[in-house]
């Protein structure tokens, strides 16, 4: 039986959110017996990134993109079964890296003796240790870092580069992912064609990953893209590359968690919050919009913050991105 304190961590949202939390989870597993409550694909990440952690899969109904508060459709039996199972675990600590009262209410229901989080909307009443809300433009990774400090963990600053006498990784193969969970985050497919051709002219190998609805486009271009059927397949494909290029989406964050430098094309979200957390990572900023960040609920016919990002701008950033790597 483990002598470590039992720690419950909540990260109930997307693949990218879980990937961002990876370094925190790795450090937490050294000191605590960690259970992670997360969506089912956390099992795939667990096998590769944090094998010491126990995963309980749970799809919180309030994390749906639409219709999240149609209470009559909530799986109430599943919710009750899950909370009873968590209560039987008798956790010493429950914690969340979000200032989300729903997380805090769930933590309270588990019966954990200590409940640590960032209070919001009077959720401080549900917490035993209240963390100071970070700066407005604090990166999501840094919220986990603050939580790590409260748990006496050594979660490093993601922006810290390796010592100057350590070479950057060599570059032979680049993975390009042209999809995203939400259409408003997808940049021009024709633009990605130009990127792939440019990289190949430089003598680099390109692995192409796309969403299922993009396959016919790439086949018309004479290419055979990979469409991962599982997160495990996605992890394997990302692991085979030396760097990643793609949209603001979960695969980019997963690539960074796998220690792959990333070049990410942004649109509706803020890079300060959501850029992939890798010290060699770079971003192409989406165009300004008075509603930014809109959290993928675009008020226009087309997401101009993304569609007006030009090929020239992306290629300029790509050239700077490639300079970081030693010549082969």
Q: What pLDDT is attached to residue 65?
A: 78
Task: Return the higher-pLDDT residue of 187 and 161.
Answer: 187
> Per mean pLDDT, which range of 53-62, 67-76, 195-204 is the poorest?
67-76
222 and 110 co-located in one domain: no
Count CB atoms within 10 A of the CB of residue 36: 25
Q: Are 255 and 276 spatial neighbours (Cβ–Cβ below 8 Å)? A: yes
Residues 6+ apart with CB under 8 A from 92: 5, 6, 7, 112, 113, 114
So what's the pLDDT on residue 252? 97
State whether 192 and 230 are in the same domain: yes
Q: Is 293 within 8 Å of 268 (Cβ atoms)? A: yes
Name the β-bridge partners of 55. Answer: 36
Structural domain includes residue 203: yes
Question: How far is residue 209 from each of residues 161, 214, 273, measured CA to CA in Å?
Answer: 28, 10, 25
Rounded to an integer, what is the distance from CA 22 to the centroid of its chain?
9
Same domain, 191 and 113: no
What pLDDT does 165 receive? 46
Clarify whether residues 25 and 92 are in a common domain.
yes
The CA distance from 273 to 206, in Å, is 29
Residue 164 has pLDDT above 60, yes or no: no
Residue with tokens 């997160």: 231
**Residues 226, 101 share a domain:** no
The predicted pLDDT at position 250 comes to 95
Burial tier of 166 (Cβ tally within 10 Å: 0-12, 13-18, 19+): exposed
Please compute Rg for the chain using Cα positions.
21
Same domain, 77 and 204: no
Distance CA 306, CA 288 (A): 10
pTM here is: 0.92
Same domain, 118 and 14: yes
Q: Is the pLDDT of residue 115 over 80?
A: yes
Q: Is residue 205 part of a domain?
A: yes
For residues 19 and 244, the answer to whether their CB atoms sit within 8 Å is: no
Q: Which residue has the tokens 């060699």?
A: 280
| Number of other residues whose CB lies within 10 A of the CB of residue 164 | 6
What is the C-alpha separation between 235 and 230, in angstroms, rounded? 9
Q: How far apart are CA 279 and CA 282, in angstroms?
A: 9
Strand partners, 10: 37, 96
163 pLDDT band, cuts 50/70/90, is very low
> Is the pLDDT reported for residue 133 higher than 90?
no
Three-state SS for 314? helix
pLDDT at 72 over 70: yes
Count of residues in the chain: 328
- Shared domain for 110 and 192, answered yes or no, is no
Average pLDDT score over the chain? 93
168 domain residue, yes or no: no
Residue 307 confidence class, pLDDT cut points 50, 70, 90 = very high
| 35 & 136 share domain | yes
Q: Are 240 and 173 in contact (CB under 8 A)?
A: yes
Specify if 164 maps to a domain: no
CATH number of the domain encompassing residue 49: 3.40.50.2000
Question: Is pLDDT above 90 for 271?
Answer: yes
Please list the residues that pair with 262 across neighbouring strands.
244
Nearest Cα residue to 82 out of 124, 139, 35, 123: 35
**Is residue 26 over pLDDT 50?**
yes
Domain span holding position 18: 6-150
Which residues on neighbouring strands pair with residue 129, listed in sequence order?
116
Per-residue pLDDT, 3: 86
Q: Is residue 268 part of a domain?
A: yes
pLDDT in tens, 243-266: 999 999 999 999 999 999 999 999
Number of domains composing the chain: 2
């Amino acid at each position: 039986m483990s002598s470590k304190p039992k720690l419950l961590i909540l990260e109930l949202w997307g693949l990218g959110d879980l990937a961002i939390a990876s370094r925190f989870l790795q450090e937490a597993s050294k000191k605590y017996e960690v259970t992670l409550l997360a969506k089912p694909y956390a099992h795939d990440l667990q096998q590769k990134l944090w094998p010491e952690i126990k995963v309980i899969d749970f799809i919180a109904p309030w994390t749906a993109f639409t219709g999240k508060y149609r209470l009559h459709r909530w799986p109430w039996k599943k919710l009750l079964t899950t909370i009873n199972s968590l209560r039987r675990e008798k956790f010493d600590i429950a914690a969340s890296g979000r200032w989300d009262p729903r997380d805090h209410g769930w933590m309270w229901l588990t019966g954990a003796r200590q409940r640590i989080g960032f209070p919001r909307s009077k959720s401080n009443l549900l917490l035993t240790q209240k963390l100071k809300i970070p700066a407005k433009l604090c990166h999501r990774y840094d919220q986990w870092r603050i939580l790590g400090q409260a748990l006496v963990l050594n979660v490093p600053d993601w922006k810290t580069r390796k010592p100057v006498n350590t070479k950057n990784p060599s570059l032979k193969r680049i993975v390009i992912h042209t999809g995203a969970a939400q259409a408003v985050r997808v940049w021009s497919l024709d633009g990605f064609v130009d990127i792939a051709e440019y990289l190949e002219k430089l003598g680099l190998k390109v692995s192409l990953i796309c969403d299922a609805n993009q396959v016919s486009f790439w086949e018309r271009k004479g290419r055979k893209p990979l469409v991962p059927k599982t997160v495990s397949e996605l992890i394997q494909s990302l692991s085979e590359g030396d760097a990643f290029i793609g949209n603001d989406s979960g695969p980019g964050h997963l690539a960074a968690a796998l220690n792959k430098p990333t070049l990410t094309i942004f649109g509706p979200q803020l890079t300060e919050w959501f850029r992939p957390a890798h010290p060699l990572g770079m971003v192409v900023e989406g165009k300004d919009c008075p509603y930014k960040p809109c959290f993928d609920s675009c008020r226009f016919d087309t997401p101009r913050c993304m569609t007006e990002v030009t090929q020239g701008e992306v290629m300029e950033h790509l050239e700077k991105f490639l300079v970081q790597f030693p010549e082969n």
